Amino acid sequence: MPFPSDIDPDLDVFALIDREVERQTSGLQLIASENFTSPAVMRAVGSVLTNKYSEGYPRKRYYGGNQIVDDIEQLAIDRARTLFGADHANVQPHAGANANMAVYLGLLEAGDTVLGLSLDHGGHLTHGSPVNFSGRIYNFVSYKVAPGDERIDMDQVRALAIEHRPKLIVAGTTSYPRRLDPVAFRAVADEVGALLMFDAAHIAGLIAGGQHPDPVPHADVVTFTTHKTLRGPRGGCVLTKAAHAAAIDKAMFPGLQGGPLEHVIAGKAVAFREAMHPSFKDYAAQIVKNASTLAGALANQGFRLVSGGTDIHLMVVDLQPFDADLTGKEAQAVLDLAGITLNKNAIPNDPRSPFVTSGVRIGTPSVTTQGMKESEMLQIADFIARALRQRTDESALARIKGEVAELCAAFPAYPNGV
């Protein structure tokens, strides 16, 4: 049977995609976990590989016809190992949450004790939140940032590890603006005989680009997503020491997932190759410089930076000193009207609920992909402050949206179209 030629209803989808292209490229994308992936990655992800079932692993599949898919997945594995210097890579996780789930399934028993950063202090749902499978199946104990400097306090991590004797320690964050110290986490894990998992979801691109201490030599397993600072397709990956390879592979399939998304795995292979290019080091360095400049400029506008600033790709901004009545929820909505996309975010010990919050999180991976540098960061801080000061003035917000669109037009994410 041919494909239907009367596809008018489906054209709605493509009209909506065109509108999303316009939204992404005419506004500022400041969500710290997002990026613009390359046309080459999108070509792989949009390929006929989506047609293929390939449960299993290269040369160990359950269905026929996987000769080429095997080569593609092996390429992705080899490139991940080379890029990060890892013993073993599993490139099948559909997402970062699946990568973390496979590690827990492979290395733990239900009820085992795990140490992780509290969600409201910058951790992830899968680091033991009570509403997530991780917090329901395992006995997570949370560490927090210190009340004074709002940084992870390794003395507290050590004290909790000695008190609770976890089987696994999770080092990793989603809204924490500072580097983590893999050596210090390894020392605590060794002292209490725990395994160490490093969740590098946000910072994988910074690690690949030499802008963050490398956790791979120190952690038993490193999980990450491929679509954030690494700039690949949406998905996850697990790197392991050789000793854990079989357990993690078995947990991923058949333990957790069915057929791998080979079109996405092909996109990961492309992205790993792109991240090996010498220009990726410059990209990672510029992300960090941009974040630092933007944080400084926002501080000059009267905002407070959680922990006093940033040394990675993101910052968490406390809105209270700028305007005590302004919530993260309102700031997100107002900035959307001005063509600036970011997300509300709890600050440590936030007096407001996670649905309202007193802060926002801002990241520079996307604008850096567009080629923006320090001087554009000063403009962005100015747009944000002006929009929030004039938040009840619709025409002022429309004016700023026009200025934002002008800036973005000068830095096209996809100069040759998508």
Show which residues are catalytic: 53, 55, 199, 225, 228, 234
Residues 6+ apart with CB under 8 A from 299: 305, 309
- Nearest CB to ligand DSN, comparing residues 96 and 235: 96
- Nearest CB to ligand DSN, comparing residues 49 and 335: 335
C-alpha triplet 243, 181, 212: angle, nearest 5°: 90
User: How many positions of this chain bind ligand DSN (CB under 6 A)?
Assistant: 4
Q: C-beta of 100: minimal distance to ligand DSN in Å?
A: 10
Residue number with the shortest CB distance to ligand DSN? 33
3-state secondary structure at position 140: strand
- State residue 86 phi and psi, 5-degree precision: -105, 150
3-state secondary structure at position 225: strand
Identity of residue 416:
N
Separation CA 117–CA 115 (nearest Å): 7
- Nearest CB to ligand DSN, comparing residues 39 and 354: 354
Q: Which secondary structure element, helix H or strand E, spans residue 195, and what is its range?
A: strand 195-199
Q: C-beta of 202: minimal distance to ligand DSN in Å?
A: 6
| CA within 13 Å, CB half, 370 | 25
- Nearest CB to ligand DSN, comparing residues 33 and 229: 33
Contacting ligand DSN (CB under 6 A), which of 25, 33, 129, 369? Answer: 33
300 to 339: interface string for ligand DSN, x by CB under 6 A: ----------------------------------------
Q: C-beta of 124: minimal distance to ligand DSN in Å?
A: 6
Separation CA 50–CA 46 (nearest Å): 8
Residue 174 interacts with ligand DSN (CB under 6 A)? yes
C-alpha triplet 200, 204, 206: angle, nearest 5°: 120
Q: C-beta of 403: minimal distance to ligand DSN in Å?
A: 26
Q: C-beta of 174: minimal distance to ligand DSN in Å?
A: 4
Q: C-beta of 201: minimal distance to ligand DSN in Å?
A: 6
Binding to ligand DSN, residues 73-92 (CB under 6 A): none
- Nearest CB to ligand DSN, comparing residues 56 and 215: 215
119 to 158: interface string for ligand DSN, x by CB under 6 A: -----x----------------------------------
CA dihedral 355, 360, 363, 367 (to 10 degrees): 100
Contacting ligand DSN (CB under 6 A), which of 27, 93, 96, 365? Answer: 96
Cis peptide leading into residue 254 (ω within 30°): yes
3-state secondary structure at position 82: helix
- Nearest CB to ligand DSN, comparing residues 33 and 292: 33
Separation CA 114–CA 54 (nearest Å): 33
- Nearest CB to ligand DSN, comparing residues 174 and 211: 174
Separation CA 208–CA 186 (nearest Å): 20
Burial class (CB in 10 A: 0-12, 13-18, 19+), 10: exposed
Q: C-beta of 101: minimal distance to ligand DSN in Å?
A: 13
Binding site for ligand DSN (CB under 6 A): 33, 96, 124, 174
